Amino acid sequence: DADVTQTPRNRITKTGKRIMLECSQTKGHDRMYWYRQDPGLGLRLIYYSFDVKDINKGEISDGYSVSRQAQAKFSLSLESAIPNQTALYFCATSDLKIRDGNTGELFFGEGSRLTVL
Amino acid sequence: AQKVTQAQTEISVVEKEDVTLDCVYETRDTTYYLFWYKQPPSGELVFLIRRNSFDEQNEISGRYSWNFQKSTSSFNFTITASQVVDSAVYFCALSVMTTDSWGKFQFGAGTQVVVTP
């Protein structure tokens, strides 16, 4: 089983609908992130959370909201989806504890492809 | 602010040719980490390497090698004797080591590598 799981993997919806993308992790990491990937733009940070009580906006947070329900769960919501939110969304986790010898890398889920018609 | 530039949008090679992917970064911080990720056609993001700002040693791992030069703010990636399985999008990323920025990766736009038989 994947360490970082995203649901749904694919979703087609209509303009104006509310959509929630869910992410859960079994890595025990405190830090969780939502990124959006668009062709030619790389990955851009939407929101991030360093612990359950900490939520921060990334560079493209407008039109999105998040909820950190538990250490292991971080959900992304589009309150009223619009076509330019059509993209591939990635949840990721990281462990700050560099002192423990970890690489500090981001661990990604498999992605959620969202299409807004 | 951090910035990562991958000027090459797409590189096409014939199998067994070498291919070098350029990555140029900008940051005012002195402590930072650089990463390369691979995204094969299946869409998942695969961690390849991390390099910290204090370690300018080049690294070789099988057919992959990385050249980190602080003087030119570059962290280039070479695939030697390319294979069809190397076809993917490759992302360079930067993360600075400050309390509030750690884990906020700045990604380049990615370079699509196409290896034909």
Q: CA B4 to CA A37: how far, in whole Å? A: 15
Q: Which residue has the tokens 């589009």?
A: A78
Q: CB A45 to CB B105 under 8 A?
A: yes
Distance from CA of B104 to the nearest CA of A (A): 8
pLDDT in tens, A81-94: 999 999 999 999 98
Does the CB of B47 have a partner CB in chain A at under 8 Å? Answer: yes
Nearest to A110 among B35, B44, B102 (CB): B44
- Predicted pLDDT at A101: 55
pLDDT at A99 exceeding the cut of 60: no
Phi, psi of A84 (to 5 degrees): -75, 5
B65 falls in which pLDDT band (50, 70, 90)? very high
B1 falls in which pLDDT band (50, 70, 90)? confident
Task: Please state, in angstroms and as integers, the Cα–Cα distance from residue A17 to each residue in A80, A83, A85, B33, following that order.
Answer: 5, 11, 12, 39
* Chain A contact set for B108 (CB, 8 A): 42
Write b or e for each residue in B43-72: b if 16 or more Cβ atoms lie within 10 A of its Cβ, otherwise e.
eebeebbbbebeeeeeeeeeebbbbbeeee
